[in-house]
A and B are shown apart, each in its own frame.
Chain A
Amino acid sequence: MSLDRPARIHAGVIVALLAFLVLALPSMLSAYWVDVTTSVVIYAVVALGLGLLMGRVGLVSLGQIAILGLGAWVAARLTYATSLPYPIVLLLAGAMSAVLGTLVGLPALRLSGLFLALITLMLAGAITVVLTTTQFPNGGPGFLGHTDSSLGSNAIRRPAVASSDTGYFRYTTLVAVLMFGVVVLHLRSKAGRAWAAIRQSEASALAAGVNITRYKLWALALASFITGIAGGLLAGSVGKLYIVQFPISGNILLLAAVLMGGIYTLWGAVAAGLLIKLLPALLDNWGLPPDLLTILFGVGILQVLITAPEGIAVQLPRDLGRLAGLLSRPFQRNQAAREEAP
């Protein structure tokens, strides 16, 4: 591999971070915080999907949480109905979500911008109503697999290799890394370049011979696939699923978190995962009301749109860099003065 120096440092940092995350972190945390960290990882994957659509292709979806719920439903149904290995369950959940996401996306070929965002919000609303009525499978009979009695219901099974909370956290992290890897591969290949061209200008992308229809649909399918996999991970993580985990307002909160995290780098997805899952746990820990988070996200949307479109993942390092520059300026000036002196 011929990587230049900054790229090697970047890769080294990522490997070190992952090693710490998988090997050291779980033993340092209590069961509660392992749970929180698992959901941070899962929502980072969800944010990855939306970030891909918004930052790379320029499509805004207000229905990602509904697709997450759908993926969770499919995964839960499969774990009760079959004894398929968990990776297959995840793949099927991802595939089903990809099919639905693409169907939802078909109008995206004609609609653009505002109207696409609105249609995804409408379809998210429709999916939420359906999921509210059918409820989530909990081991009951029939196609829906839901029973109201507490006797018939049991928790969604986890992969055999990862039945403990720590084990499941490691499993989740591994799958998440794979998802980030899939996206990185896409961005470095023909698809990534096509998306970049579409985001810049559809007219010039068309002129350059990019098949806009195909690549837009491909982006929607990929983002939905990733979100469906995250849904499958979520199903195993919580054991029992309820519609309150997928409210319509969740779609908007996710959009806020992804915008605040930053849509032009993949680190933004990690930041969004932290914002949407770690922050509420911290607020709860400090005895602050969770509604503060909603208000903060609202302010965040306005702030990002007006002053900082790149989000925390880009803004924070740059601001820290500026701060460091500011702090080191007196020293540099002294040095310059010394060098000038004869």
Chain B
Amino acid sequence: MTVPALLGLPSWEFFKPFIVTGLALGGVYAVSGVGMVVLYQTTGVLNLAFGAVGAMGAFIAWELNNNTSLPDWIGYLACIGFGGVVTLLYGVAFGPPLAGRDALTKAVATLGLALILLGAMSWIWTDKARSLDLPTTNSGFEVGGVMVNWTQVIAVGFGVVMTVVTIVFLRHTRTGTAMRALADDREITATLGVPVRRVEASAWLVSGLVSGAAGLLLANLVGLDAATLTFLVISALAATLIARLSSVALTLAAGFIVGLVNAMVTPILSISQYRDMTPFVLATIALLWVSRKDIRVTGLR
């Protein structure tokens, strides 16, 4: 017998489709993670409402596409726009009063926003099963005997492109430099004449737009369910923790790892039921690994 068979592993053929699902989810986790890291470094806020904002956007898209005669793309734009507007409003309203508090307080405050959105979602859109299909989900192509749809391709591409754009943006633009400066030292940056509020607002807006787009993709890849989408933020969070909440490039890699491991466990029957533990376990290991040394979040890279 071969080694995999001895371990009770199914043959390679069974894993193939899960690589595709894993990569697609990983792409969305990565882009969510990048959005969270940039916001955390710029404003000091770890936005735990990231998933809830995207989920609500997806429900709004579903509402517009199913109960109005507007063309579908308006629904999709509304989803992304909703993410940007709500996150920006939260940042402008609650960022300054909490600016002087510690990181934990700021993160807990975003849980308040998450609860408000979660309650509103399950109130307006009751637990009836819904699905939101992007037109790209219905067409695709075959690679090595595995069907790949265009939404999955977009998810992977979005993750990679957004990460690269973010890295370039942070290094080569004025606002990006200001963001890196804020990550290093808020007080000194303010003294140097950087418009702190404006730079922070732009971080809130962009990270909000990303949360809307991520919500739209996840509603397609995972399903349109308020609680599930809200708590998928934990998977993205796992990716950011592996990257120590500082490196954008590492977040991309970690996002793909979380997505892939989660999906690849599925065909291994003995542990398949426990696959949802993947992000928690990976993040816990990452936190413990990081805490070997004095945990200090380094600047934005």
Interface residues of A (CB under 8 A from B): 60, 107, 110-115, 117-119, 121-123, 125-126, 129-130, 133, 247-249, 252-253, 255-256, 259, 289, 291-302, 305-306
Contact = CB atoms under 8 A, between A and B. Distances in A.
A129 B118 CA distance: 21
Given A133-B274, A248-B231, A119 B287 contact: yes
Contact of B115 (A118, A129, A295): A295
A123 B230 CA distance: 17
Contacts of A114: 46, 102-104, 107
A247 B123 CA distance: 18
B73 interface: no
B114 interface: yes
Contacts of B107: 114, 117
Given A114-B102, A125-B279, 17 more contacts: A107-B291, A111-B287, A114-B104, A125-B234, A126-B277, A126-B281, A129-B274, A130-B277, A249-B115, A289-B123, A291-B120, A294-B122, A296-B119, A298-B111, A298-B117, A298-B118, A299-B116
A45 B165 CA distance: 50
Nearest to B237: A118
B115 A247 contact: no
B169 interface: no
B199 to A, nearest CB: 22
Interface residues of B, number: 44
B119 A295 contact: yes
B295 A111 contact: yes
Contacts, number: 130
Interface in B254-301: 273-274, 276-277, 279-281, 283-284, 287-288, 291, 295
B109 interface: yes
A255 B107 CA distance: 13
Contact of B102 (A113, A130, A302): A113
A130 B101 CA distance: 35
Interface string B210-239: 000000000000000001001100100110
Interface of B: 46, 94, 97-98, 101-105, 107-109, 111-120, 122-123, 227, 230-231, 234, 237-238, 241, 273-274, 276-277, 279-281, 283-284, 287-288, 291, 295
B277 A125 contact: yes
Contacts of B113: 298, 302
A294 B118 contact: yes
Which has the most chain A C-beta neighbours within 10 Å: B115, B237, B288, B291?
B115
A252 B115 contact: yes
A111 to B, nearest CB: 5
Contacts of B295: 110-112, 115
Nearest to B284: A122
